[in-house]
Structures are given as C-alpha cells and as structure tokens.
Amino acid sequence: MATSSETLQVLIALLGGVGLFLLGMGLLTDGLKLAAGRTLERILATWTRTPLHGLITGLSLTALMQSSTALTVAMLGFVNAGLLSFSSALWAIFGSNVGSSATGWLIAMVGFKVDLQSYALPFVGIGMALKITGNGTRRGAIGAAIAGFGVLFLGIDMLKQGFESLGTDALPELGDGLADHLLAVLVGLVLTILLQASSATLTITLAAVAGGMIPLSAGACMVIGANIGTTLTAILAAIGATANARRLAMAHVLFNLITAVVALIVLAPLLMLIEFLQQRYMGGSDPVGQLVIFHTLFNALGVLLMWPIAGSLSRFLLARFRRTDEDEAKPRYLDRNVIAVPALAQQALHRELARMGSYAVQLADAAVHLNPRAEPWTEPSLQARQKLSQRLEVVNSLQQRIGEFISQLSRGAVSAEIAVQLPEMLRIAAYFEAMARLTYHVGILGADDERTLAGAAGDEQAIIMAAVAPVFTDAQRLFAAADPELLQHSGSTELVREMLAQFETSYQQGKADLLRIGAAGQANTHQVYDWLARLSDLRRAAEQGSKGIQALAALPDLEFRPGACERPAGKNAVTASVRAPESVS
C-alpha cells in the first residue's frame, strides 16, 4: 500500500509527464509549421482539390504534426484567410481525425517497448543545437521540431512510469455498464478540454490501460470522449471568424458527434472483433494494441459515414452563417489562427490590403460622382453623403485591424524575407487610407449645395463646369481602373499608370483654366480658390492611391491561389521591429 507521500510524488510525476508531453507537442507542431512555410501552401493547393486528396492530406499532416487539434485550428485559419475554400478544407478535417491515431500507433509500437529516455534525450540535444545555431531560419525550426519530438517521448515515459507506480486500485473501478461508459466518455472529454490536445488524452488513456488502471472498454470510451472534446477548440477558434470558417467548425463538430454516437452503439461488438482478430493473427491479446486499433477504426468509420452525405452536409452548411460576411468593416482574411505560419499570414495580409484598397477606390469613385463631370450632373442626395461616411468607416476599421495583425505577427519569429515586408504593408494601408480620407473630403464638398455649382450664377456655373468637369471625368476613369482586388489577379498596373498620367494632364489644364478665369474676373475668386483646393485634394488622393497600388503589386506574388470562398446557393530572426510607415505624402 503506497503512502500518501509516495502517492503525491507519483501524481506530481504524472502532472510533469503531461506537461512535458504538451510542451513537446507544441515545439513539434510549431517547428514543423515554421519550417514548412510556402511548402505548406503548395501542399494545400495541390492536395486538397478532391475529397480523396483532402482526406489523405489531412491524415498525413496530422500524423506528421501529431496533433489533429493543431491541424483543425490551422485549417480554420486558412479558410478564414481565404487561402483554402470550405470544400477543400472539409475532407482535410475529416482526414485529420483518422491521422490522430498515428500518435497511438507510435506509442503502442515504441512507447511501451523500449527505453524512451535513451532515445528521447539525443533528440532533445540535437534539436536544441540546431535551434540555437539557426534561430530564425528553417534549420532552427526543424531543430525545434526534433527537440519537441524528444520532449514528447520524455513525457510519455513519465506518464507510463507514473501509472505503473499507482497500481490498479488507485482509481474507482469502471465496469461495462452504460453509466460507466458515459462517465468514461465525460472523463475523456474533460481531459481534452483541459489539455487542449486529444493526443495527450489518448496517451494518458493508453498509459492507464497498459498499467491496468482501467479496463479496455473504459479506455475506448475515454478515446471517444477525447474526440468530442476536440470540437471545443474548433468552436472557440471559429468565434468571430468568417462564415466559411464557422461552417468548417460546425462540420468538425457534426463529424465527431455522429462518429461518437455510432462508436458507442457498436462498442461491444467492435471490441470483440478486434480482440478476435488480434488473437488469431498476432497470437496474443494486447489491450494497448486493441485500443489503438479501435481508435483508428472508429475514426475511419466516421469517414465512411460522412462519404455519402458530405454533399448534402456541404450544401446545408453553405446556406448558413452568412451574416458576418455582410459586415464590411470586419476583416475577411485576417485570422489569429494563421499567424502561426508567417508565410500564410503574409498572404492573408496581401489579400486584406487589396480588399481595403478596393473599398478606398469605391469611396473615391462615389466621391467623384458627387462632383461635376462631363456628363449631365445632378445634385447629390442625403443618402450619398451617408454612404461616403460608411465607406470611410470601413476603410478606417480595416486599416486599424491590419495594423493590429501586423503587430501580432511581428511579435513572433518571422523570417527576414517577411519581416522587411511588414513596414511596407503598413505604408500601403496608409496610402489607401489617405486616398479615402482625401476623396471623402472632396465628396462632402460636392454634396454641399452651398459649395457646388448649384450656388453659382448661370454664366459663372458654365465657365467653372467647363474647367473642372474634365478633371473629375478622368479621375473617375482612373478609379474605375484601379481596383486592387482585380489588379492582384491580372498582376499589371500599366493601365493605372496611363490613367494617372492622363488625369495629371487634365488636372494641370483645369488648374490653369481656373486661374485664368479668376484673373479675368469671370468667376468669384473665393470660388476659384475653393475649386483649386478641391482639385488639389483629388490629385493628392489619386497619387496616394496609385502609390498604394504600385507598392501592393511590388510585393511577392501570391503563389497560392485556390478558389477562395464558395458563395452560398535571432541571427536572422526578426521578432518585433516593425517601424511606423514613412510619410505617405
């Protein structure tokens, strides 16, 4: 009978084992994601185009990263950032559930059969040596992953020794009744929620079964509960995300719930079948091996259940969660989950900047329409002024969120290649904000009856109209050709440069005409000065917008271009040194 002091020491060892396991998993996952960089983009682009490809990709990446939760959260971030479509990510999520069984197989084949410390410590030493000597580089990221692998096995070893030391009578006995099964499911669910890793729960369960602490059936129920517990992480990650990300989180929840219910129904016959097959073909009965096989089979069963209904499920989910995307001021591509992969976060920023620029161009176009142009001009309505204000609020909100995202990204370990782009991205956002603010002012002046041509005498109105209308007409053509979201697909800004040159010619001519009109006494000099100031603001806005578009086009190309969203029917490390943008005047 163990004393209370011995029991306390064992419990501390178990707690330390869980901590080491989670630490190792975190190092392994983060290191692999940082090492992958753009390779991960190409994998996702190439291997999620069909359901089978998506399934294999989700399975493989989860087995590599040893965390289905990490892959699920990453997929949510990719979908939220517009880097993956909902249908492309759906089967990768399903595959990740099957891939999560890789942890169990690794533990069953290695963890309980060899001296883990003898193998784990060299991994930790080699990995940390690579990380220290290559901090901020791909070598350093690979080193972190290798070290994480070693720490993960140290944690497994501590858990195994701890459960063996406790003895079989340390925990309440769990039988084969329905109440016992439901209690075991609840234990697995709560453990996964607390640890935020189903692999950690699986490892604890395997260690408990190996040590004789719980029967096989209770361990199987704990594994089922662990699968359900992973859904909470997905739900939390999807809060405030885009509609597609929330659809994906709901698909993940439905998959795990349906699979859990079916697994509980067929639990007894499935365990009997596994034991029979193991005794027949492997010549013995191993509870740990049986539990690992069960974990793999019931997740594979979930995929088989989803295969015939995936189309209907997709259509059902695509028809829901639509309100968030209607909020224009909310970033569509920026998501905290994608920050873990800086290369993907950079591309999400690229897309959001293009979207912000598109709204700024829309505002500029609307502001030009409130001023006299070559075609017949009508007095603006009150709603036009309100729409201008709403568009400016959207641009300001997006600029703030882009700045916050860049600040969060720069606090992590990003490569020098990406780090040099971050100040430029802040500058681009400032360019677009300046264009929106200046054209908003121009539009408000146009919407003010007392400051437009409506307040001028007949001859004076005609003279001023002839001078300024060509300027606003060419400004309209410029803004029509300057939508950054369209230009990022074509990759050419030559037309924008041509339109800007044409606008500059019109501006200089209009300015000369106004000065001539004022000097000749053909119009009130106060009105002439006002129109000169307005045209000057318009010119500066056009220049700022053109600078933003040219700078955005100069960023590295977006190599990863899947169909974004379905429509419903150290040495080289840079940690946090992002400077404020230089003057954008």
Q: Say if residue 103 is in the same domain as residue 134.
A: yes
Residue 468 included in any domain: yes
CA-based radius of gyration for the chain: 31
Residue 283 included in any domain: yes
Of 325, 357, 379, the one marking the end of a domain is 325
Burial bucket for residue 466 (CB in 10 Å: 0-12, 13-18, 19+): middle
Residue 146 included in any domain: yes
How high is the pLDDT of residue 42? 65
Q: Give CA torsion, residues 129, 133, 139, 142, to 10 deg.
A: 30
Q: What are phi and psi of 574, to 5 degrees?
A: -125, 120
Rounded CA-CA distance 379/382 in Å is: 10
Are 241 and 326 within 8 A, CB to CB? no
- For residue 240, give the 3-state DSSP assignment: coil
Q: Say if residue 76 is in the same domain as residue 206.
A: yes
How high is the pLDDT of residue 431? 95
Q: Say if residue 114 is in the same domain as residue 152.
A: yes
Residue 387 included in any domain: yes
Amino acid at residue number 4: S
Amino acid at residue number 160: K
Of 273, 295, 325, the one marking the end of a domain is 325
Q: Say if residue 66 is in the same domain as residue 87.
A: yes
Residue 186 included in any domain: yes
Domain that holds residue 128: 4-325
Please name the residue that has the structure tokens 């703030």.
400
Structure tokens at 381: 């309505």
Residue 575 included in any domain: no
Q: Say if residue 27 is in the same domain as residue 117.
A: yes
E-assigned strand segments in 260-354: none
Q: Say if residue 258 is in the same domain as residue 374.
A: no
Amino acid at residue number 475: A
Sign of CA dihedral 200, 206, 207, 213: positive
| Contact residues for 580 (Cβ-Cβ < 8 A; gap 6+) | 423, 426
Q: Say if residue 317 is in the same domain as residue 342.
A: no
Q: How far apart, in Å, are the Cα atoms of 69 and each of 178, 192, 228, 542?
A: 28, 10, 11, 47
Q: Say if residue 314 is in the same domain as residue 452.
A: no
Residue 177 included in any domain: yes
Are 406 and 578 within 8 A, CB to CB? yes
Are 97 and 202 within 8 A, CB to CB? no
**Cβ of 376: how many Cβ atoms within 10 Å?**
6
Count of domains for the chain: 2
How high is the pLDDT of residue 338? 77
Sign of CA dihedral 280, 286, 289, 295: positive
Of 268, 292, 325, the one marking the end of a domain is 325
The secondary structure of residue 580, as a DSSP letter, is P
Q: Say if residue 444 is in the same domain as residue 318.
A: no
Q: Say if residue 63 is in the same domain as residue 116.
A: yes
Reported pTM: 0.57
* Nearest C-alpha neighbor of 446 from the set 358, 530, 506: 530
Are 60 and 222 within 8 A, CB to CB? no
How high is the pLDDT of residue 70? 67
Q: DSSP states of 424-461 as a string?
A: HHHHHHHHHHHHHHHHHHHHHHHH-GGGSGGGS-HHHH
Q: How far apart, in Å, are the Cα atoms of 278 and each of 271, 290, 543?
A: 11, 8, 74
The pLDDT tens digits along the chain (585 residues) read 455 666 677 677 777 877 777 787 677 767 766 766 666 666 666 677 778 888 888 888 787 766 676 677 677 766 765 666 777 788 888 888 888 888 778 777 765 555 556 667 888 888 888 888 887 777 888 888 888 878 877 776 776 666 656 554 545 566 667 788 888 888 888 888 777 677 778 878 887 887 777 888 888 998 899 888 888 877 876 776 667 778 888 888 888 899 999 888 888 888 888 888 888 777 667 788 888 888 888 889 888 988 888 888 888 887 776 544 446 778 888 877 778 778 888 888 998 999 999 999 999 998 998 888 765 555 555 567 778 888 888 899 999 999 999 998 888 877 778 888 999 999 999 999 999 999 998 988 887 644 444 445 557 777 888 888 899 999 989 998 888 888 766 656 788 889 999 999 999 999 999 999 989 888 888 888 989 999 999 999 999 999 999 999 888 765 444 444 343 443 333 333 333 334 444
Amino acid at residue number 376: P
Are 247 and 317 within 8 A, CB to CB? yes
Q: Say if residue 357 is in the same domain as residue 312.
A: no
How high is the pLDDT of residue 449? 43
* Nearest C-alpha neighbor of 471 from the set 373, 569, 359, 363: 373
Sign of CA dihedral 104, 109, 110, 112: positive
Residue 189 included in any domain: yes
H-only helix segments in 481-582: 484-490, 494-519, 525-554
* CATH number for the domain harbouring residue 501: 1.20.58.220
Q: Say if residue 279 is in the same domain as residue 384.
A: no
